[in-house]
A and B are shown apart, each in its own frame.
Chain A
Amino acid sequence: MRSDTRRDLLVAFAFLAVFIALPFLLPGRYYLGQIVLIFFYAIVASQWNLVFGVAGIFSLAQMALFAFGAYTTAMLGFYLDWSVWLAMPVAGLATIFVSILVGLACLRLTGAYVALLTLAIAQVMYFLIVTDTECYVMEGVRCRQFTGGAVGFSQFGDLGTRKAFRGDWLTANYFIVLGLLIVSLLFTYVIMRSPMGLAFRALRDNPGYAVSRGISRFKYQLLVFGLSAFFTGVAGGLWASHFRAIGPNLLNLSLMLFVLAMIVVGAVGRFWGALVGAILLVAADEVMREFGEFRTLGLGLILAFFVVAMPQGVLGLLESAVQKLKPKRAEQDSPSP
């Protein structure tokens, strides 16, 4: 077994043990709810990391895809009375389709152009939902827009845990979200270690050489957009079912930055970056909550500080510290993905 595979396995079991024990150790529901948030963010960040970190495509559309999954689930439940359990995978598939369209639009662009185009797509989606005022159905005297308008959706069904587990519904939801996190992290790991992951990284690091060795940019760019979308969309659906309400605030710029900051703080392009970043930023957000109105200010400064001072992220820093301690081992260890 390769040494970094063994290390990843150890880290995975440590995280898993902690996460399984947490619901039985934590006092009160509040902290459990915050851990569930960490899981959601980590799922999206890990998929985003595939596009941004591994494939090197600076797309800012990931939160829009997440919101798309959430809206699809909510709307299927609301208008067609689908169970969220059926709606979530369908939302995931629909998100793949949308993501591939975004990937097609970005196909001939690089760097900053991709960022601008995807940002514009996300903003237009927000703008169209918020300004939607046309009545689609009437609910008594209130009018409901097709996209839910500025209010969003609620009462489209939930995971059924409240009925089945009553007081323990949050713990049940916790394990459902944890399950999705594990599956999506496994998925990410397999992709990063597969020849496909190598192709993504090759196209990121030296597109000219990669293409001349027969790696199709067209194929792999669409692949990474499609692959990273499924769990993003499903996570959006799960988010909607967990909170039992969604609104256009999912598309807020500050939420997008919050998740982007997780990747940057954790480590861009590293497997554990998304999870570590999510834990660190939600913790930092908790601390900043004490200062109330300075929260956003703090988030902005953290983001800027990390990019300037440690662009390799916390994990990159950790790794170079370890390498300094063990100079002889450094040559054997292949760089982790």
Chain B
Amino acid sequence: MDVLPYILVTAVTVGAMYSLATLGLSLVWGAMGMLNMAHGALLTLGGYAAYSAVTAAGLAWPFGFVAAIIVGALFGAFLYFGLVRFMLGSTAFETNIIIATVGIAIALENVILLIYGGQPLGQPVSLDGMFRLGQVPVASQNLLIVVLSVAIMFLVAFTLRTSKIGRAIRATAQNREAARLMGVPTRSIYLQVLAISGALAAVSGVLLSSITQLSPPLGNDPMLKAFIMCVVAGLGNVQGSVLAAFVLALVEACTQFYLGARWGLPVLLILVILALIWRPYGVFGRTQVTRL
């Protein structure tokens, strides 16, 4: 039996999910130089929001995504009003925001643990059934993941490229001061970017939990991988991180198949270290190396 098609199916599915998770991180870093360590907790939050909407409120499964998007965006906005608003422009923003969001992340994970308990739950927001792609059986859920992720990515790319908000976000990312002088309300841009990123994280949390299980630390491992992808691509480089997500998902799927599941993350890490030694600001990073 040829295993390559299976590896490819896994890699494409996982890559789609990773790129969605990476997208939010990358946007936030690009627009405001903020490394959001609460991103993993947001993933988990989205998964549980969808779970509650379907099981407790009894909505049809597509509404699980709606619930996740709303909750994720609200939490993103909370990050702005609770933390970022006070810290913007302070010295050592780059490191302090990491510490602050880590604090929020473990608090949120703990709240989820207190509400839902630690036992793994099944995600009801998923499609049943299989179909055949040539010779390879593929679960319908995998198709849903890929289609949804790609659709969302195109939507985000389209918004960034054409809409007014998108232009304002890009302007802020390129040069904060100049954007503000040109009348871009940078603070409300930050709020919007955090809300969008929260919604993206929440959706990828729903998708992720549909092929694994819901548990409070659900988002931690994907967040670490999303970081790795962001770093490989160069923090803040949106297109690069999507490409890196697919490439690294393929590498991971191959490693896990040929070397065993436990080597997936270490091999990714070694690749990252090598990539960073080769290009310290990421493979597609914009910033030139400052030689000191």
Chain A interface residues (CB < 8 Å from chain B): 58, 105, 108-109, 111-113, 115-117, 119-121, 123-124, 127-128, 131-132, 207-208, 211, 217, 253-254, 257, 260-261, 264, 293-294, 296-297, 299-305, 307-309, 311
Q: Is the CB of B104 within 8 A of A300?
A: yes
Q: Which residue of B lies closest to A256 (CB)?
A: B102
Size bracket, chain B contacts: 35 or more
Inter-chain contacts of B1 with A (CB < 8 A): none
Q: Does B259 contact A (CB under 8 A)?
A: no
Q: Which of chain B's residues 99-134 have a Cβ closer than 8 Å to chain A?
A: 99-111, 113-114
Q: Does B86 contact A (CB under 8 A)?
A: yes
Q: Is the CB of B96 within 8 A of A311?
A: yes
Q: Does B224 contact A (CB under 8 A)?
A: yes
Q: Is the CB of B87 within 8 A of A116?
A: no
What is the CB-to-nearest-CB distance from A288 to chain B, in angstroms, rounded to a whole number? 11
Q: Is the CB of B95 within 8 A of A253?
A: no
* B221-235 to A contact mask, C-beta < 8 Å, 1/0: 000100110110001
Q: Which residue of A lies closest to B291 (CB)?
A: A211
Neighbour of B269 across the interface among A108, A115, A121, A217, CB < 8 A: A121
Q: Does B189 contact A (CB under 8 A)?
A: no
Q: Is the CB of A296 within 8 A of B262?
A: no
Neighbour of A112 across the interface among B103, B113, B235, B276, CB < 8 A: B235
Neighbour of A108 across the interface among B87, B94, B276, CB < 8 A: B276
**Interface of chain B: mostly helix, strand, loop or mixed:** helix
Q: Is the CB of B107 within 8 A of A307?
A: no
Inter-chain contacts of A304 with B (CB < 8 A): 82-83, 99-101, 103-104, 107
The answer for the CA separation of A112 and B282 in the assembled complex, in Å, is: 13
**Interface of chain A: mostly helix, strand, loop or mixed:** helix
Inter-chain contacts of B105 with A (CB < 8 A): 300
Q: Does B255 contact A (CB under 8 A)?
A: no
Q: Which residue of A lies closest to B264 (CB)?
A: A127
With A113-B231, A311-B92 known as contacts, the answer to whether A207 contacts B106 (CB < 8 A) is: no
What is the CB-to-nearest-CB distance from A280 to chain B, in angstroms, rounded to a whole number? 15
The answer for the CA separation of A305 and B101 in the assembled complex, in Å, is: 10
The answer for the CA separation of A304 and B72 in the assembled complex, in Å, is: 19
Neighbour of B262 across the interface among A128, A217, A305, CB < 8 A: A128
What is the CB-to-nearest-CB distance from B41 to chain A, in angstroms, rounded to a whole number? 10
With A112-B94, A113-B235, A303-B100 known as contacts, the answer to whether A308 contacts B265 (CB < 8 A) is: no
Q: Does B273 contact A (CB under 8 A)?
A: yes
With A105-B273, A117-B231, A311-B90 known as contacts, the answer to whether A300 contacts B262 (CB < 8 A) is: no
Known A120-B228, A300-B102; 19 more pairs at CB < 8 Å: A58-B98, A108-B276, A112-B35, A113-B280, A124-B265, A128-B266, A131-B262, A257-B103, A264-B99, A297-B106, A299-B106, A300-B103, A301-B103, A303-B99, A304-B103, A307-B87, A307-B96, A308-B82, A308-B86
Q: Does B181 contact A (CB under 8 A)?
A: no
The answer for the CA separation of A211 and B90 in the assembled complex, in Å, is: 25
With A115-B35, A115-B98, A300-B104 known as contacts, the answer to whether A207 contacts B292 (CB < 8 A) is: yes
Neighbour of A296 across the interface among B35, B106, B261, CB < 8 A: B106
Q: Which residue of A lies closest to B228 (CB)?
A: A120
The answer for the CA separation of A112 and B277 in the assembled complex, in Å, is: 15
The answer for the CA separation of A217 and B87 in the assembled complex, in Å, is: 29
Q: Does B220 contact A (CB under 8 A)?
A: yes
Q: Does B272 contact A (CB under 8 A)?
A: yes
The answer for the CA separation of A254 and B110 in the assembled complex, in Å, is: 11
Q: Which residue of A lies closest to B101 (CB)?
A: A304
Q: Can you list 9 contacts pairing A with B, beta carbon distance less than 8 Å?
A: A115-B98, A116-B227, A120-B228, A120-B272, A128-B262, A207-B292, A296-B109, A300-B103, A307-B100
Q: Which residue of B lies closest to A302 (CB)?
A: B103
Q: Is the CB of A260 within 8 A of B35?
A: no
Q: Is the CB of A116 within 8 A of B277?
A: no
Q: What 3 A-B pairs come out closest when comparing CB atoms?
A: A300-B107, A303-B103, A304-B103
Q: Is the CB of B269 within 8 A of A301?
A: no
Q: Is the CB of B220 within 8 A of A253?
A: yes
Inter-chain contacts of B235 with A (CB < 8 A): 112-113
The answer for the CA separation of A85 and B106 in the assembled complex, in Å, is: 37
Q: Does B182 contact A (CB under 8 A)?
A: no
Inter-chain contacts of A302 with B (CB < 8 A): 103
The answer for the CA separation of A300 and B83 in the assembled complex, in Å, is: 13
Inter-chain contacts of B83 with A (CB < 8 A): 304, 308
The answer for the CA separation of A307 and B96 in the assembled complex, in Å, is: 6
